[in-house]
Structure 1
Amino acid sequence: MTEPADLTPFILQGTRDLAALVALESVSAQGRMLPETAAAVTRLLEAEGFTVRQYPGQVAPLLVAEAGEGPATLLIYNHYDVQPEAPLDLWNSPPFTLTERDGRLYGRGASDDKGEFVSRLAAVRALRARHGGQLPLRVRWLIEGEEEVGSPSLAAFVEQHAEELKADGCWWEFGGVSEDGRPVISLGLKGIVCLELGCRTADSDLHSSLGAAIDNPLYRLSKAVASLRDDSGRVTIPGFYDGIHPPSSADSQAAAALPDVRGAVQQSYGVRGFLGNADAGEYNRRMNFEPALNINGFHGGYGDAGSKTVLPASGFVKLDFRLVPGQEPERIVKLLRAHLDAQHLSDIEITELESHEHAARTDVAHPFVQAALQAARSSYGSEPVVHPSSGGSGPMYPFMQHLGVACVAMGIGNVGGRVHAPNENIRVRDFESGVAFGVAFLEQLATGR
């Protein structure tokens, strides 16, 4: 294992960089401070010898950086935008001030994704110092500011700049460490479709007495939502599961070997239970290989204190589908429309939100994956936890489709990191270990051993 003292100055500098980046409120959903954050990231990269090119995106600039020379080329993907900080009253410290408490660093973006970016930059600094100021491999870095709004510019950009981004493999933007200190590596991501269902039955709200003769849009929406899945969580839209690629035996074995994290999830989020009373094996199988439907929000009518006897004129529901390899986002939308029509709910309008994303998954036997696993073993001194797929989504598919690269997600998150929620955090020890892993991984790729 790498001795922590070897990396102390780089870890301290990385922590200062992280504090400066967290202070920049780069909320892409609201268009806040995106050019300023892109400029700050550019300065950090240029200070380490990277040539940085900036390209316009639909929401925020995209950055492509390059430095180093050698027989191997590594592509790193990160993003500098963050989720909105609301609700503010649930934060125990200011969301845009990096705050240390009890061995953790709190702040919006501390984990997702500024902490990940900074930990990798610290590893690059340390490696350069070990090699007389030179990088012994070529590092290409793609950093966007639109990931939290669905990366609307990224797929076309990767296709158009495939030659500029060519590499032997891609180090993805996130990853984690288990409660007992083992590195957690993911080799894929689920796809996603974000939608809004809307219903209107009148031009204005009505007295609720008219509910005896006029239909209620919230009832119509409730009927629609209730028709989409059963109590076990299985989606009931005809054709939804058609064409799904089953996991390989190696993928299934990897998922079966995963630890039981249900207790940690319950403790972190106060979860009352799991669909179907899933045991550890079923929980891990679902998280890696099963698609899902999620209702994100149900809106309409009166919601303030007391009673208001109103028949709402309209309402809407926001939802997302998490998809697995073999499911086409566009086809899922068509199947949803056909299903609603068959349920005599043709008045329910479907609005597609943000960009759809396909699922993607890398073979665990790929040499790039094996190099990452070896670096994780050497830096953490323990066997990695390997997820064939993350339960979350992201724009990995264009990288595999247009660049043909294997993708590995390994980083500094933790099961109690509260990503996208108030009190987002990383553990200080995981940041330190992440820098050590980065050095070992870069060395492994540069030397082949």
Structure 2
Amino acid sequence: MSSDVLKVIEENKEMYIRWLVDFCKIPSVAAQGRGMDEAVRYVEELFSKELKTSSERLETGGYPVVFSEMPGASDGTVSFYNHYDVQPEDPVDLWETPAFEPNVRNGKLYARGVADNKGNLIARMAAVHALQQVNKQLPMNVKFIFEGEEEIGSVHLPDLVDKYSEKLSSDGCVWEFGYRDPDGTVQLSLGVKGMLYVELEATGATTDLHSANASIIENPVWRLVWALNTLKDERERVLIPGFYDDIQEITESEVELLESYRLDEKATLETLGLDRFLLDLKGKELKHKHIFEPTCNICGIDGGYTGEGSKTVLPAKAKAKIDFRLVPGQDPKKILNALREHLDQHGFEDITIHEWSSEVAARSKPEETLVQAMTSVTEKVSGKAPNIVPNTPGTGPMHVLCQALGIPSASFGVGNATSNNHAPNENIGIDDYIDGIKMAAMLIEEFSVRLSEEKSMVR
């Protein structure tokens, strides 16, 4: 990467920080329909006024995808997927400063969405801006794909991809997130887990009753608890028949990545205020379960009276929200059908299942040109090799936008080990943000060179 581009980034870093601060002032909460149009307009203005390029809204039936394509000197194309929607700020009283009033303290910028995902979104736009100040043309074609519904399950993205698959194509996609380990090492992730998110509901009488009726009227909360108890055993093994049947076998290169993947167990436990991991797992077994194994998690249970003091009540209904994190090979639709059959076979035909969202797991190979370029870039910017993880334990619509179209994808970004995504006091380091701009700019150059070399060898 030319020293001129690095110089431009340093000279403009206050402006790039201001771009991010202004963006984080917008409460673009898709789940609540707040600030979404304003966020779209803000991004569009950055494209037109700062990057001097056009953008378009790809209508989805919900909140639009903001798309921009910028031509480059080579015929290779890199795409950047990000999202402009953020999580709600609740619980508000746990924020040290208001969630949508960005605040800088101790070298960190605090605001809702600053790590997930506005910091990465703006850093990548800033990277292109910096390259533009030095070169007449970008090294390669660059596409920006900014979604507005990631935090509510990307419900309209599959239909959008079907309609615009050619427009969204690229040689490699840089995914939306990225973090650092507690020691500051940049993480490079090659994929995400899939997801099936459902709500189970048990119903009883038409209204809440006096608890004296518990002697003769069934309590739906108990019924739900008994149903939940059939899903998983004490060793965390999911008991739904066929749940594990289709999991893809782990490759040798993925095993090697897992062995080299660094998980600071002591620092993680200290940060979380815990003294042990689930099942007392350690070392290789802990990493394997965290990265390569699916989960069945109860996100929340609601039913009856949980307020202050006592209220002797027999609830009329009970609900539980459950997420299944899935790994490559598992089909969320198949898992949903298996869940229904499992409940029926255990006598819980009356419990309804509402599907909230689903995603297919995605994972790219470490041999991909994009991954090799990202590895090189990360080492050059940070001064040490990245911590490469085969896939993060989290979920996103990577498969539908990338692997389903034959596009490899991987991610690095501006977050840190205590960025508090989805929690109060979300934050990123200012220096990490500037490094994120440098990594994105350098990647565009590095990926272009590597693709050109590959294509020349093929010829």
Common fold: TM-score over 0.5: yes
Structure 2 Cα separation of the partners of residues 13 and 158 of structure 1: 34
Shift of 1:352: 0.8
Secondary structure (helix, strand or coil) at the match of 2:402 reads helix
1:202 aligns with 2:210: no
The equivalent of 1:243 in structure 2 is 246
Question: Matched residue pairs, number?
Answer: 447
The equivalent of 1:371 in structure 2 is 373
Selected match of 1:53 from 32, 56, 60:
56
1:118 aligns with 2:122: yes
Q: Is the 8 A contact 1:301 1:315 kept in 2?
A: yes
Q: Is the 8 A contact 1:259 1:280 kept in 2?
A: no
Shift of 1:303: 0.8
1:108 aligns with 2:104: no
The equivalent of 1:7 in structure 2 is 9
| RMSD after superposition | 1.6
The residue correspondences of 1:243-262 to structure 2 (distance < 5 A) are 243-262=246-265
Q: Residue by residue, what CA displacement relative to the aligned partner does 1:173-200 show, whole Å, maximum 9, x if unpaired?
A: 0111222222211111111111100011
Structure 2 Cα separation of the partners of residues 21 and 234 of structure 1: 43
Secondary structure (helix, strand or coil) at the match of 2:320 reads strand
Which 4+ stretches in 1 moved above 3 angstroms? Answer: 1-6
1:273 aligns with 2:295: no
The residue correspondences of 1:284-303 to structure 2 (distance < 5 A) are 284-303=287-306
Structure 1 Cα separation of the partners of residues 243 and 12 of structure 2: 49
Shift of 1:2: 8.3
The equivalent of 1:346 in structure 2 is 349
Letter in 1 for 2:106: D
Letter in 1 for 2:380: S
The equivalent of 1:218 in structure 2 is 221
Secondary structure (helix, strand or coil) at the match of 1:237 reads coil
Question: Is the alpha carbon distance of 1:237 and 1:157 closer, same or farther for their aligned partners in structure 2, counting shifts above 3 Å?
Answer: same
Shift of 1:309: 1.0
Structure 2 Cα separation of the partners of residues 345 and 78 of structure 1: 41
The residue correspondences of 1:379-390 to structure 2 (distance < 5 A) are 379-390=381-392
Give the alignment's TM-score, normalised by structure 2: 0.94
The equivalent of 2:93 in structure 1 is 89
Secondary structure (helix, strand or coil) at the match of 2:114 reads coil
Secondary structure (helix, strand or coil) at the match of 2:431 reads helix
Shift of 1:76: 0.8
Structure 1 Cα separation of the partners of residues 66 and 146 of structure 2: 5
- Once the two structures are overlaid, the 10-residue window that deviates more, 418-427 or 254-263, is 254-263
The equivalent of 1:391 in structure 2 is 393
The equivalent of 2:429 in structure 1 is 427
Structure 2 Cα separation of the partners of residues 115 and 164 of structure 1: 25
Shift of 1:119: 1.0
Secondary structure (helix, strand or coil) at the match of 2:377 reads helix
1:66 aligns with 2:69: yes
For structure 2, list consecutive stretches of 5 or more residues without a partner in the other structure.
454-459
Q: Is the 8 A contact 1:60 1:145 kept in 2?
A: yes
Shift of 1:163: 1.3
Structure 1 Cα separation of the partners of residues 235 and 8 of structure 2: 50
Give the alignment's TM-score, normalised by structure 1: 0.96
Shift of 1:120: 1.0
Letter in 2 for 1:378: K
Q: Is the 8 A contact 1:292 1:321 kept in 2?
A: yes
Structure 2 Cα separation of the partners of residues 198 and 249 of structure 1: 42
Shift of 1:264: 3.1
Q: Residue by residue, what CA displacement relative to the aligned partner does 1:255-285 show, whole Å, maximum 9, x if unpaired?
A: 1211123333333333453211111322221
Structure 2 Cα separation of the partners of residues 187 and 235 of structure 1: 26
Shift of 1:402: 4.2
Letter in 2 for 1:146: E
Shift of 1:55: 2.0
Structure 2 Cα separation of the partners of residues 154 and 10 of structure 1: 34
Structure 2 Cα separation of the partners of residues 158 and 264 of structure 1: 40
- Once the two structures are overlaid, the 10-residue window that deviates more, 314-323 or 269-278, is 269-278
Structure 2 Cα separation of the partners of residues 245 and 209 of structure 1: 52
For structure 1, list consecutive stretches of 5 or more residues without a partner in the other structure.
none
Letter in 1 for 2:382: Y
Letter in 1 for 2:158: A
Q: Is the 8 A contact 1:379 1:433 kept in 2?
A: yes
1:44 aligns with 2:33: no
Secondary structure (helix, strand or coil) at the match of 1:111 reads helix
Q: Is the 8 A contact 2:190 2:365 kept in 1?
A: yes
Shift of 1:57: 2.3
Q: Is the 8 A contact 1:70 1:137 kept in 2?
A: yes
The equivalent of 2:79 in structure 1 is 75
1:283 aligns with 2:265: no
Q: Is the 8 A contact 1:70 1:446 kept in 2?
A: no
1:145 aligns with 2:132: no
The equivalent of 1:160 in structure 2 is 163
Secondary structure (helix, strand or coil) at the match of 2:131 reads helix
Q: Residue by residue, what CA displacement relative to the aligned partner does 1:94-117 show, whole Å, maximum 9, x if unpaired?
A: 100111111211100110000011
Structure 2 Cα separation of the partners of residues 236 and 414 of structure 1: 35
Structure 1 Cα separation of the partners of residues 367 and 261 of structure 2: 17
Shift of 1:50: 2.6
Selected match of 1:21 from 3, 20, 23:
23
1:175 aligns with 2:178: yes
Letter in 2 for 1:26: S
Letter in 1 for 2:264: V
Structure 2 Cα separation of the partners of residues 182 and 279 of structure 1: 21
Structure 1 Cα separation of the partners of residues 338 and 206 of structure 2: 29
Selected match of 2:266 from 248, 263, 268:
263
Q: Is the 8 A contact 2:369 2:447 kept in 1?
A: no
Shift of 1:162: 1.4
Structure 1 Cα separation of the partners of residues 311 and 73 of structure 2: 70
Sequence identity (%): 38
Shift of 1:419: 0.3
Letter in 2 for 1:294: N
Q: Is the 8 A contact 1:78 1:116 kept in 2?
A: yes
